[in-house]
Structure 1
């Protein structure tokens, strides 16, 4: 176990050997102010038993890089007509999983800013993310893994 001091918080890094012989890292955060301890893992397990990392050593990447991703979004996103007529704008944060084979799946819209986002934008953002071609998968310890990815998509009226 390692202990780190981070401002008003203790961070414990614990390595545990699992039943399959692999070593997993867990992080515990404990505040000096009496807040509860939080136990975090670098991944979660889907109901079907598949592990998905929140953050991998090597993140997934869109084939062709950020410029190619922006081109894909520009070519495929359609500004909803009703939203344009009403002069609406907004940002949709889409979370999705890039599988160990590069496939994009499990797209969901989240609201990190707690601002109301028009449903038309959410529907369009999810439609386009579900159209995406395969990505270069992320990797952990030299092995390709499933990684959760978050992409903000902003709709600006022109």
Structure 2
């Protein structure tokens, strides 16, 4: 329950200090140019934030698999996955909302497949960054 309250306060306030260090919201981190470094983004000509965004979109498209049971039941909708890339560079899913649970499971699977990253840093201190990603499911035609 404490973790849930902490996460909610982080998402509402934008940034927070916790026992584990600083957690920034996606918006605040992007404004400050703070982002986890996706593998190989450190060698990219893009800014780390732009590289992260591009790699995230590509990851979702490449890993996306419409669940057969969802297709057979005609399920569609948008699932929003809230997660943190922690100060060790690992993904922690914190909340999932929207659509049917079969679609939620697929969205969680996609996010959990994110690679381990170099954590975001505030100065030289690793910090966690909270993200919110909507994934829309539409029946294949």
| Same fold, judged at TM 0.5 (above) | yes
Q: Which has the higher contact order (CA 8 A, sep 6+)?
A: 2
Give 1:91's aligned residue: 78
Task: Give the TM-score normalised by structure 2.
Answer: 0.64
Higher helix share: 2
> What is the RMSD computed on CA atoms of the aligned residues?
2.5
**Structure 2: gaps (5+ residues):** 1-12, 42-50
Residue 140 in structure 1 maps to residue 122 in structure 2: yes
**Number of matched pairs:** 112
Task: Give the TM-score normalised by structure 1.
Answer: 0.58
Higher strand share: 1
User: 1:77 pairs with 64, 67, 72, which one?
Assistant: 64
**Structure 1: gaps (5+ residues):** 1-39
Aligned residue runs from structure 1 range 10-89, under 5 A: 40=13, 42-45=15-18, 49-55=19-25, 56=29, 57=32, 58-60=34-36, 62-63=38-39, 64=41, 65=51, 66-89=53-76
Q: For residues 151 and 92 of structure 1, what CA distance do their matches in structure 2 show?
A: 8
